[in-house]
Amino acid sequence: MTATPAETLRDIGEAAVLQRIFPKLPAADAALVGPGDDAAVVAAPDARIVITTDTMVHGPDFRLAWSTPHDLGWKAAATNLADVAAMGATPTALVVALTVPAETPVSDLEALADGLREACAALARGCGVVGGDLGASPTFTISVTAIGDLVGGDPVLRSGARPGDVVAVAGQLGLAAKGLALLFARGVDKEGNPDARRARNLRSRFPAEVSAQLAPRPPIYAGPVAALSGATAMLDVSDGLLLDARRIAQASGVVLDLAGRGEGGASAATTGVAEVLHGGEDHALLACFPRAEDVPPPFRVIGRVLAATETDADGRDIGSVTVDGEPAEERGGWDPYAEWAGGAG
């Protein structure tokens, strides 16, 4: 018995593909004009919009052998939603551009739309897809632009942390890095190429870690909560706690001293200190608040902000990160231009 070949984009053409995808896309509450016209119209009650974009390319950013199309839709939504949330805004709308090989099964794009819809429903209810573009390319690429609304207050920048603030985090740290390490170590075949069957087995054995990497669940709602609670600085942890903490420290000209040992410290984490300090891609929200009493759930305090001890030639404070008062050892963050040892797949 031979399986019926999957219906591809080439088989049915763009118009029919869009007809199949549109009903699966999440509607945006703020959409005044949704998909189907030349452009969408989205309400912006605050008169300002928060806007961000991120592209995921097959190879450097994901592997089709590891990520299902559903995962890709979910992750593309989640990472962009996290960037909007990290400004203290509520995500309202997504615009999605896909360029994919013509041999791609239509069912893959339907699953990707399901992932987009389910991520919006789970992480940012009311946010939806208001438009996009579908193109052909040898490389599977998904690019999402997200728009958000500042619910009542000013955007939370990276530069507002002050000595005396506390440092707090909402969401997971290190799980996604653990998942990626597992995939690189055990989700590959003998030649080191990503292997779909091994990845599936790995995911059923380590669902929390592998799913954190392939379909992260950042606490999007916590971004606006932090803003309303007076957060002085915030970002989402995409490249690792130490590296992203340093971004706040440098932008603010302060020292972020993180707890390594003891309750709430990195060493109390079950994933391991290295993953917590260096692992990115969980998209937890890292924020500073003026006082411990201001820290709203689900944030938990993991450190404090101290005055910088060094200044540059112009007399500006030089920001840095310490762990238990000791200078933190940093590794490079995620760099899409860095190569890894595996082959294509």
Min dist CB 235 to Mg ion, Å, is 5
Asked whether position 83 contacts Mg ion by CB under 5 A, the answer is yes
Q: Could you tell me the CA-to-CA distances from 333 to 177, 189, 240, 322, 330 in Å, in that order?
A: 11, 26, 6, 17, 9
CB of 158 to Mg ion, least distance (A): 9
- Is residue 244 near Mg ion by the rule CB under 5 A? no
Shortest CB 236 distance to Mg ion, Å: 4
Euclidean distance between CA atoms 10 and 102, whole angstroms: 5
* Secondary structure class of 135 (helix, strand, coil): strand
Does 236 engage in binding with Mg ion (CB under 5 A)?
A: yes
Q: How many residues bind Mg ion (CB under 5 A)?
A: 3
Q: How far apart are CA 183 and CA 9, in angstroms?
A: 30
Q: How far is it, in rounded angstroms, from Cα 40 to Cα 25?
A: 14
Give residues 125-164 in contact with Mg ion (rule: CB under 5 A): none
Nearer residue to Mg ion within complex by CB, 17 or 124: 124
Q: Quick one: 195 or 236, whose CB is closer to Mg ion?
A: 236
Helix, strand, coil % (nearest 5) of the chain? 30, 25, 40
Q: What distance in Å separates the CA atoms of residue 130 and residue 174, rounded to the nearest whole number?
A: 33
Measure the CA dihedral 96/98/104/106, to 10°. Answer: 30
CB of 62 to Mg ion, least distance (A): 18
Contact 80, 145 (CB under 8 A): yes
Looking at the Cβ atoms of 110 and 236, the one nearer to Mg ion is 236
Beta carbon nearer to Mg ion, 79 or 232? 79
Strand pairing report for 41-42 and 141-150: unpaired
Name the CA dihedral angle for 28, 34, 40, 46, rounded to a multiple of 10 degrees: -30
**C-beta separation of 322 from 257 below 8 A:** yes
With contacts defined by CB under 5 A, name the span among 43-51, 109-117, 238-246, 286-294 that binds Mg ion. Answer: 238-246
Nearer to Mg ion, 114 or 236 (CB): 236
Chain centroid, CA 163 distance in Å: 28
Q: 16 phi and psi, to 5 degrees?
A: -70, -35
User: Can you read off the two tokens belonging to residue 14?
Assistant: 């763009």
Letters for 183-222 (x = contact with Mg ion by CB under 5 A, - = none) are: ----------------------------------------
Q: Is 282 in the site for Mg ion (CB under 5 A)?
A: no
User: Which stretch, 1-9, 168-176, 196-204, 233-241, contacts Mg ion (CB under 5 A)?
Assistant: 233-241
**CB 299 to Mg ion: min, Å:** 17
Max alpha carbon distance in the chain (Å)?
A: 76
CB-nearer residue toward Mg ion: 236 or 257: 236
Q: Quick one: 51 or 134, whose CB is closer to Mg ion?
A: 51
Closest CB 105 distance from Mg ion, rounded Å: 32
Minimum Å gap between C-beta 248 and Mg ion is 11
- 317: contact with Mg ion by CB under 5 A: no
Cβ atoms of residues 215 and 180 within 8 Å: no
Please choose, out of 77-85, 167-175, 203-211, 321-329, the segment that lies near Mg ion by the rule CB under 5 A. 77-85
Judged by beta carbon, residue 238 or residue 322, the one nearer Mg ion is 238
Q: Smaller CB distance to Mg ion: residue 11 or 54?
A: 54
Distance CA 305, CA 257 (A): 6
- Look up residue 266 and give its DSSP letter: G
* Segment contacting Mg ion by CB under 5 A, of 64-72, 109-117, 232-240, 313-321: 232-240
Residues that bind Mg ion (CB under 5 A): 83, 236, 238
